[in-house]
Homo-oligomer: A and B are copies of this chain.
């Protein structure tokens, strides 16, 4: 609840029991929370149990928080019962606006207004979702990446009626709860990660449609090429390191002209002095001014570990 410290939250309710809702339940259980899942229908129980058991095998290998246990899990198909003791609610029902609006209307009435309700939506806006909710200030988008118990990203943004306090508190709560929240500056369709992922996906579809590459070639190109780097560093830091001692500045000055080349069907923005500066300053700030040698070592050490994982998998 908004008047608690994020560190003091113990009881979480997950609404929805699909791969995302169930994945959130697994994550929170592994962090030691008491978790209640609301199921739309009793028949979903079996698949959810299987998901939790599978996830638990992975989570044990990574390391469970103290006190974490599957015994702290309960479920119900009664929405009032599911939410009555909740200190935080993560909603992951299907991406249908009318369904979400109706759910938030109900939750707005039955749930203590100090309890944050976070939506896992990947495509709807919170302004729309909260439209019929009588207590919209405590609602916020918190979009995870699948599976939520293995990938830490949570993209966050409020709707028009969301209070800034809710966004701030929820960001802190996710950090305490072992996630990596990212509060967006603007609401853009697809948010940030999905937009980047979708750019690759569309370029891949174009290549297959034009007979330029097969499905398998596209995947081999990623997995044996840029893929392992992206597990360790984002596209900006990779080019910052790729620029050598001169960093991002060197990279932009040397490869800037490539933006005019038809290397993907996506037309590049003009590399204005402002954009050049934003990219360079952003990289220096992000890497806390670390030099080429140490960034390059971080990348190579990570790639060595990933190469070892891949070699082991190959022999399985």
Contacts and interface: CB of A to CB of B under 8 A. Distances in A.
Interface of A: 19, 54, 58, 61-63, 123, 145-147, 150-153, 155, 180, 182, 184-186, 188-209, 211-237, 239, 242, 244, 258-259, 261-272, 274-275, 278-279, 281-283, 285-286, 298, 300-311, 313
A155 to B, nearest CB: 7
Contacts of A192: 207, 212-213, 217-218, 221
A198 B309 contact: no
B211 A234 contact: no
Given A180-B224, A214-B185, A206 B269 contact: yes
A196 B215 contact: no
Give the residue among A185, A213, A261 with the most B Cβ atoms within 10 A: A213
B266 A265 contact: yes
30 contacts: A61-B308, A123-B261, A145-B224, A150-B307, A155-B221, A182-B221, A189-B261, A196-B218, A196-B221, A196-B264, A198-B263, A199-B202, A199-B265, A201-B239, A203-B266, A204-B235, A205-B259, A205-B271, A205-B275, A209-B270, A215-B236, A215-B278, A216-B286, A219-B233, A220-B234, A227-B231, A228-B230, A230-B231, A231-B231, A305-B309
Given A224-B152, A298-B313, A204 B213 contact: no
- Count of identical protomers in the assembly: 2
B212 A300 contact: no
A242 B151 CA distance: 14
Contact of A307 (B62, B188, B271, B298): B62
A223 B219 contact: no
Contacts of A190: 261-264
Given A235-B201, A259-B202, A268-B202, A275 B209 contact: yes
Given A58-B300, A151-B229, A196-B221, 16 more contacts: A61-B304, A152-B224, A180-B220, A182-B221, A195-B203, A196-B200, A198-B263, A199-B264, A199-B266, A200-B200, A201-B235, A204-B235, A216-B286, A219-B233, A227-B231, A302-B313
Contacts of A145: 224-226
Contacts of A195: 203, 207, 263-264
